[in-house]
Structure 1
């Protein structure tokens, strides 16, 4: 049996995605050309995410539709808020399966180049001042992505600590109130600032942040490594290794979709 391609969407995943997509009724008068099937277009978007190929080079023989069709549908679904809702639904399924661990969370940031510029870019201090962006990520104790944000490459990691915690959606999946805050957040020395420790505590979270000027070997790395592994999984999607999109919302769409796909893989591994 042939192994399915990573951009192929099975019936189980499509059953999760399809209800989230906006319904577009075809006009009865002057309907125009029939709309390309959403499932095939979504697979075209996944093909670009996985391979990093440019839209104009999307293989027509695979039935995805044109690259422009896929790009327009991506923009349409992004405007409709599909990707955050997909991520939230999958997080709820993980929590229902007892696969989420909110006892602690880990945060980190990762630089990428932004070759075409655009909003949320800046001169990267770690890439000889080239224009870049930064992915910021928060995971649960096992490395499942809870939220991701995008900033310019010149933004300090610590400035995104509070936005990351606030970006975690209310995760349902169990009886009672949704879970939104971890008990503890772990971070490296780049987040060492007493002001932000106070702000984290104000959210009801205990900050465990390594301090500058102290010896290495604090022990946080034995728990914080999961966010670095999550970045490795996230940047396995070639479209996220370099920012090609001028529009920041389109790149953020790919970023959130990548987080959702990691959640889906983890969910399948628990079954």
Structure 2
């Protein structure tokens, strides 16, 4: 963070204008209303504070005015169940598409291992960490590295199992005249996706596959296209909460992943 820049967990007015209409409206009870509900914007700042710093929920500083960690956790859970983060991600993709900043000529896919210290659903013995519990972050990005879809699986799952799932998870992106855009022209992937079955599946949905083959020497030239996904995963893990999976519940970790992908899109839009 450069000197003079606003703190990243402080929600700007322009970002809040996009998020507020997506949030579900909660009517306060007329009888036995209880304590006043924490402002949604402050709760979102608390969620972003945890996402950026990886601080435990119970240690969320009260003096910052974000409310209790449990309150922010419940808002993250409820908003994820309501589809807020997916709709925010789709909205920002549409704005990027309208501005001509999405490269649909190609897409790149890859995954990354993270340790899951507390276990839980969608974890498994990691083949790269002495069989300790871990998870995988699967990401597909367009040609400039903007994430189109993300998913979470156990650390022992093969990359190819998420290939078609991620392609199908790409939302229909509006923003220009005509039908919404949903499919890139071609797809680049490394040797972890090398199987003729996967190639046929990708061809079947109208995408040209460029998948490196096992047993062939490096230097095929595909790396000049695949490097962008490494940068995208690095940006995703720049959010400290995603470097290690602390959540037992998989839906909470997936909520953080989708929110982080939306924030990456937001940065590309404003910068």
| TM-score normalized with structure 1 length | 0.98
What residue number does 1:126 align with? 128
Q: How does 1:171-250 map to 2 (within 5 A)?
A: 171-250=173-252
* Equivalent position of 1:20 in the other structure: 22
The 5 A counterparts of 1:41-190 are 41-190=43-192
TM-score (structure 2 length as normaliser): 0.98
Structure 2: gaps of 5 or more residues: none
Counterpart residue number, 1:267: 269
Q: Whole-Å Cα distance in 2 between the matches of residues 215 and 46 of structure 1? A: 43
CA separation in 2, counterparts of 1:2 and 1:64?
Answer: 22
CA offsets 1:59-97 (integer angstroms, 9 cap, x no match): 000000000010011111111111111100000000000
Which residue in 2 is equivalent to 1:254?
256
- Where 2:234 maps in the other structure, the secondary structure is helix
Q: Following TM superposition, by how much is the alpha carbon of 1:2 offset from its aligned partner in structure 2, in angstroms?
A: 3.8
What secondary structure, in the 3-state scheme, does the structure 2 residue paired with 1:151 have?
strand
Taking only aligned residues, the RMSD between alpha carbons, in angstroms, comes to 0.8
4+ runs deviating over 2 angstroms: none
Distance across 2 between alignment mates of 1:164 and 1:219: 24
**1:27 CA drift (Å):** 1.3
Q: Which runs of 5+ in 1 are unaligned?
A: none
Deviation at 1:100, TM superposition (A): 0.4
Question: Aligned residue for 2:8?
Answer: 6
Quote the Cα distance in structure 2 between the aligned partners of 1:163 and 1:150. Answer: 11
